[in-house]
Amino acid sequence: MNETGNLKIKFTLNGKPIEYMVKPNWTLLDLLRKELSVLSPKEGCSRGDCGACTVLLNGKPVNSCLVLAPQIDGKEIVTVEGLIEDKEFKALKETFIEKGAVQCGFCTPGIIVSAVALLREKGNPTVQDIEEALEGNLCRCTGYIRIIEAVKQAAEKLQKTS
Amino acid sequence: MKLIPPYRYLRPKNLQEAVEQLGRYGEEAKILAGGTDLIPMIRDCLITPKTMIDISFLDELRYIREEGDMIKIGALATHSEILKSPLINGKTGVLAKAEKVLGATQIRNRGTIGGNLCNASPAADTAPPLMVLNAKLKAISVEGERIIPIEEFFTGPRKNALKPNEILVEVQVSPEPEKSGSSFIKLGRRRALTLSVVSTAALIVMDGVKCRDARIALGAVAPTPVRAKETEKLLINKELNGEVISSAAEKVVEEINPITDVRGSAEYRREMSKVLTKRCLLEALESVKR
């Protein structure tokens, strides 16, 4: 920590090592969007109610608005930008388009992150598994039916190819 | 996007250093663990700590283990870790049941059991199950160690019995006894990411058809989570059946003091407390392993 109270942290962002001077009162979401221009996580409610800012922290979905930037020192952060070569992401991208599971798109990056984490943990999730994995992500446009169907279909696609 | 107000940030290297820092900054400091309750409160300026002591890196407080006849849960164990623990699911199912409906995946991955208790919300989801498990809470400070029974821990809405220089480090519970059954029911306005309107935990120990011990706790119906001891007395040494349970559950309204807020009226909470206590006891009875 220096005399201004700022501190240098090291972490990996989408597989790339990063060193950055952060202010203690920045959230991880502030760091990603304002400083690093990683724009897939969205600011919805800023209080952990909507899930639009969901990212993976050491592989687990968390609300980046509820994590302080200094708390990710030494940790691994993954956003949608870091998932584009990922097989779960590719399957989800196709099925979200096929099912029309995106309308305004604001919640989509958070939902994709939550869904990727689910599919990595459970290859063959039930509808209830999907509902539970997505319970922290709000969507105000499509309703949830198409989103749930898209995740289910992505899981089936991945099962067939594996 | 507005920044949250600034503060001095400290990151102790170990528990000893955290205790010393809290000893030094006491009243003006807040302990930061998972941040899921604390960060929104700072953002809303409900609290304005000058100093934040970030204990989230202290892996020494992240464990769930059995020692003798006790299950010990480190204050930094996350709700997800507790929910997935075979030990917790096997021996203290009532806590696992509450963890399953706490917040949502993202909150459970980050929020800690210590944080949920210290935040001392009357609606804290882990409080009723820990109350029926007769949990003991271990706190430490520069002055030493102290064990606080969970019944004495909550002192008012968002108030707990910790002194300004004390850190909660461990939750200790006994496994659910043999021939016992338990349940937890949360009534919220929706299923996920919601504060309880009423929550109920029950644990009963049977001796044949007779009830040897009964413990009931409720959340969100009083300034603190509460044990319903008078209701429990109506069950102990009785032969339990639907009728006995229904009539005992009526008593629970005398042991609570709910308020009206955006989530529900006091009247509604009183009625639902009876209904949920009854359902919870019936589920607990149903789950008794004979």
Contact B6 A23 (CB under 8 A): yes
> What pLDDT does residue A2 have?
63
pLDDT band at B195 (very low <50, low <70, confident <90, very high): confident
Q: Hunting for tokens 């240098």 — which residue is that?
A: A8
> What tens digit of pLDDT does each residue of B32-75 get?
999 999 999 999 999 999 999 999 999 999 999 999 999 999 99
Q: Which residues of A touch B3 (CB under 8 A)?
A: 23, 25-26, 30
Q: How confident is the model at residue B140 (pLDDT cuts 50, 70, 90)?
A: very high
ipTM of the complex: 0.96
Which residues does chain A have within 8 Å of residue B109's beta carbon, measured at their own beta carbons? 57, 60-62
The distance from CA B58 to its chain's CA centroid, rounded to whole angstroms, is: 22
| Residue B246 predicted with pLDDT over 70 | yes
Give me the residues of chain A with pLDDT under 70, please.
1-4
pLDDT at B36: 97
For position A1, what pLDDT does the model report?
60
Give the gyration radius of chain B's Cα atoms.
19
From chain B, the residues in CB contact with A130 under 8 A are none
Q: Tell if the pTM clears 0.90, that is, is over it.
A: yes
What residues have CB less than 8 Å from B236, skipping those under 6 apart? B211, B212, B213, B214
Q: Nearest CA to B106 among B185, B34, B195?
A: B34
Q: Match 């199950």 to its residue by tokens.
A: B129
pLDDT computed for residue A4 by the predictor: 67
| CA nearest to B107 within chain A | A62
Tokens of B150: 């969970």
Nearest to A26 among B3, B57, B191 (CB): B3
Could you read off the pLDDT of B83-128 as tens digits, one per residue? 999 999 999 999 999 999 999 999 999 999 999 999 999 999 999 9
Q: Is B268 on the interface with A (CB under 8 A)?
A: no
In sequence order, what are the residues at sequence separation of 6 or more whose Cβ sits closer than 8 angstroms to the Cβ of residue B152?
A: B161
Domains (ranges, CATH) in chain B?
8-54 (3.30.43.10), 59-173 (3.30.465.10), 180-286 (3.30.390.50)
pLDDT in the model for residue B290: 60
Using one digit for the tens of pLDDT, what is the confidence trace for B218-238?
999 999 999 999 999 999 999
Report, as an integer, the average pLDDT of B250-267.
93
Q: What pLDDT does residue A89 have? A: 98
* Partner-chain contact B106 A7, CB within 8 Å: no
Ramachandran angles phi, psi of A97, nearest 5°: -70, -50
Q: To the nearest whole percent, how much of chain B has pLDDT over 70?
A: 99
Number of Cβ atoms within 10 Å of the Cβ of B80: 19
Domain ranges of chain A: 7-53+64-78, 87-161
pLDDT of residue B11: 97
Give the per-residue pLDDT at B206.
96
* CATH code for residues A7-53+64-78: 3.10.20.30
Closest approach of A63 to chain B, Cα-based (Å): 6
At residue B196 the predicted structure's pLDDT band, cuts being 50, 70 and 90, is confident
Which residues in chain B are contacts of A136 at CB distance < 8 A? 103-107, 192-193
Cβ neighbours of residue B249 under 8 Å, at least 6 residues apart?
B231, B274, B275, B277, B278, B281
- CB-nearest partner of B191 from A30, A73, A135: A135
Fold of A87-161: DNA polymerase; domain 1 (1.10.150)
Q: Tell which wins on pLDDT, A3 or B246.
A: B246
Residue A146: CB atoms within 10 A of its CB come to 18
